[in-house]
Amino acid sequence: MGLRLKSFSPSVAGALCPDLPAAVAAARRREFAFRTALPAAVPASLVADIAGTSGSLRLVYLAPRTDVGGGARVLFEHANRLTARGHQVTVLSHFPRPDWFDLRSDFRQVPFGIELSAYIGPADVIICGYWDQILAARTVGTAPVIHFEQGDFHLFEQVDPEIFRLAARNLAAADATITVSGTVAEVLRDRYDVPATVVHNAVDRTIFTPTGPPATADHPYLLFVGWDGNAFKGMDEMRRVYRALCAEPRPLDLVWVTPRPPVEPLGRVVVSPDQPTLGALFRGAAAYVCCSRYESFSLPCLEAMASGTPVVATRNTGVLEYARDGANALLADVGDVAALTTQVRRLLDDPALAERLREGGLTTAAGYSWDVITDRLEQSYRSAAAAWTPPPLPPGWTFELAGLQYPADFEPRLHAYAAATTAGAIAVPVSFPAFEAHRAVRWRVVARRRNAGSDTVHAYLPATADTPPPDLPYAAALEHFRQGRFEPALDGFMSAFQHSGPTRAAAGRWVILSLLELGRDVEAAELVSGAVREYPDHSDYQYLQATVARLATRRVDGAAYVAAIDLLGPATHHEEWFDNPATLIRRTF
């Protein structure tokens, strides 16, 4: 066909590059919006009090984040210790494999453009690391879904009524819930009427131990862990405590460990240290200070105790699970800066008190063994796997698969989605030939249920077709484009683009392509620039921006565009996208 898109040759990468933070933020918002629209799952199908299974389990963990933090560390400890016991553990996350933690299980990074649960393979148990993943995981319909609740704003803060309802729907959809403290279990029951099994966190005694070299420093230092972008961590209070103590005649430093660069730095900032470095920082500290307004378990306080470091903490919900004032920690009321300052001062001025707290902390931490915790966790997963039965496919479903090609496991997985949802329809991504070297993909309804609602669940089960869908909003324009009639193609695509709604994002791509084929590069550049701002998560627009710039012989950071599109993946949260954008961008560079 000789389309002009193939007429340029590669050049040196240069200045133009994608705004990756904006793209990722938009992709996360769009995934959350998709999750808010999910219909209810069928009722949980666990049989109570059934004996657990034996043998190896296939466990899939959905990790909401992978940067340094107590919540991520606990999930990764689970994965490692269950892997060591012979289970087949896979961790799925949109974020990269952690470089600060020696994760020894299988790990798969899922592009941001694809729902995380879409990558769930054969499993005996699915474990959700955050509440907004539960309904999406339940729609897969192939294994019981356990929510591992570590606590967040939905438990401890007043939330918007819409968010509360969404959290309640997800929390109620879990087949079972495990949480890290009795306090959180009580909040789950009182606030959401959700029962939970308590499986405490534990400490890696090979990392957090009083033996081993401490971090070196010119002066005694206080240690604080948390990012100041999360107000509940109490960094504002920590600033005031530290400044009050610095006004006194004693040398004192602050070491601040944070998973990402702070909003307002203070003291010595250590961003995302690896575990051995973190252990040394704990051992070297004069005191660990926790100013949190709430926590579910407060693992860093326990890690400080295990490291032989005295602890000063607020009486937050999590630390009260194990901390006792004067025995293994010094406590102050949440938000009471004066009391926190007094408690830190007492500890610094009284070596005997510090030693007593140190000994008490070591005794407390010794009771939180990963061997014991993993036993309980393993038994919980075995019981869930043994008790779960897949829901039967209810009557009334019809499947419309004529003209589609798909892999052998497509229909069983589609039936599992149908059995697990209360929706009235299921859509899957179907690709079709668009033009030379490009296949487009659209969501197509392939299953409908009689006498059901209008909700549609999206199942990421890719299929292919030989022709465009008959209901394509700009079918005539696409045919003009395919035949090289770019003026009428542009008119048709522009008509669709000028309307609001999901078709606008889909049609805009074709408008840009038509303009390029007509040699109207300046207009194409203006349009793609605006489209990237409007749809920063749509990988096709990132690809087209790089393409337009290359046609204009602009300097382009090709490696940055390749990395961005690898991270975003196909734009499945939109109405239409190009298949395999990673291949397309690599052909460009």
pLDDT of residue 454: 86
Residues 155 and 264 in one domain: no
Decide if 179 is inside a domain.
yes
Give the DSSP letter of residue 436. Answer: T
Decide if 360 is inside a domain.
no
Decide if 399 is inside a domain.
yes
Pair of tokens at residue 237: 């209070």
pLDDT of residue 5: 40
Neighbouring-strand partners of residue 367: none
Residues 415 and 541 in one domain: yes
Tell me if residue 310 falls in helix, strand or coil.
Answer: coil
Q: Render 552-573 in DSSP notation, one character per residue.
A: TT--B-HHHHHHHHHHH-S-TT
Name the strands in the sheet holding 221-225, side by side, starting at the edge strand that comes first in the sequence.
Answer: 268-271, 253-258, 221-225, 287-290, 311-314, 330-332
* Side chain identity, residue 255: V
Lowest-pLDDT choice from 12-21, 114-123, 371-380, 395-404: 12-21
pLDDT of residue 456: 95
Contact criterion met (CB below 8 Å) for 535 and 568:
no
Pair of tokens at residue 289: 């200070």
Average pLDDT in the 298-302 region?
95
How far apart (Å, rounded) are the C-alpha atoms in residues 521 and 515? 7
Contact criterion met (CB below 8 Å) for 384 and 443:
no
Closest by CA to 40, choosing from 391, 345, 559, is 391
CATH number at residue 257: 3.40.50.2000
Pair of tokens at residue 481: 């484009």
**Total residues belonging to the chain:** 589
**pLDDT-based confidence at residue 46 (cuts at 50, 70, 90):** low
How far apart (Å, rounded) are the C-alpha atoms in residues 317 and 105? 32
Residues 237 and 285 in one domain: yes
Domain boundary, last residue among 183, 198, 213: 198
**pLDDT-based confidence at residue 470 (cuts at 50, 70, 90):** confident
**Higher per-residue confidence, 135 vs 499:** 135
Average pLDDT in the 99-127 region?
96
Decide if 373 is inside a domain.
no
Residues 469 and 421 in one domain: yes
Closest by CA to 432, choosing from 410, 405, 408, 455, is 405
| Percent of residues in the chain assigned helix, strand, coil, to nearest 5 | 45, 15, 40
How far apart (Å, rounded) are the C-alpha atoms in residues 327 and 307? 16
337-358 confidence digits (pLDDT tens): 999 999 999 999 999 999 999 9
The mean pLDDT of the chain is: 94
Neighbouring-strand partners of residue 311: 288
For 85-206, where are the alpha helices, taking DSSP H only?
Answer: 134-140, 153-156, 161-173, 182-192
Residues 408 and 316 in one domain: no
Neighbouring-strand partners of residue 463: 430
For 428-501, where are the alpha helices, taking DSSP H only?
Answer: 475-482, 486-497
Decide if 267 is inside a domain.
yes
- 281-284 contact pairs (CB < 8 A, 24+): 281/215, 281/223, 281/255, 281/257, 282/208, 282/223, 282/307, 282/309, 283/209, 283/210, 283/212, 283/213, 283/214, 283/215, 283/307, 283/308, 283/309, 284/214, 284/215, 284/216, 284/217, 284/221
Decide if 357 is inside a domain.
no
Quick check: 81 pLDDT over 50? yes
Residues 60 and 193 in one domain: yes
Domain boundary, last residue among 302, 327, 343: 343
Closest by CA to 306, choosing from 236, 380, 204, is 204
Residues 417 and 464 in one domain: yes
Quick check: 151 pLDDT over 50? yes
Average pLDDT in the 498-520 region?
95
pLDDT of residue 51: 54
Taking every pair of Cα atoms in the chain, the longest distance, rounded to a whole number of angstroms, is 87
Give the DSSP letter of residue 97. Answer: P
**Higher per-residue confidence, 588 vs 440:** 440
* Side chain identity, residue 305: M
pLDDT of residue 329: 99
Q: Is the pTM of this model over 0.85?
A: yes
Residues 466 and 534 in one domain: yes
pLDDT of residue 246: 97
* Side chain identity, residue 354: A
CA dihedral 267, 272, 276, 279 (to 10 degrees): 50
How far apart (Å, rounded) are the C-alpha atoms in residues 62 and 174? 14
Residues 24 and 110 in one domain: no
Decide if 567 is inside a domain.
yes
Number of domains in the chain: 3
pLDDT of residue 495: 96
How far apart (Å, rounded) are the C-alpha atoms in residues 196 and 175? 11
Residues 244 and 278 in one domain: yes
Tell me if residue 69 falls in helix, strand or coil.
Answer: coil
Average pLDDT in the 314-329 region?
96
Q: Which domain, by its residues, includes 543?
A: 4-32+393-588
pLDDT of residue 68: 85
Contact criterion met (CB below 8 Å) for 272 and 100:
yes
Which residue matches tokens 């793609």? 528
Decide if 367 is inside a domain.
no
Residues 20 and 60 in one domain: no
pLDDT of residue 40: 87
Residues 336 and 401 in one domain: no
How far apart (Å, rounded) are the C-alpha atoms in residues 581 and 587? 10
**Which residues, including other chains, have CB under 8 Å from residue 536's CB and lie 6 or more apart?**
19, 22, 23, 25, 26
Share of the chain above pLDDT 90, in %: 91
* Cβ neighbourhood burial of 181 (10 Å; 0-12, 13-18, 19+): buried
382-440 confidence digits (pLDDT tens): 999 999 999 999 999 999 999 999 999 999 999 999 999 999 999 999 999 999 999 99
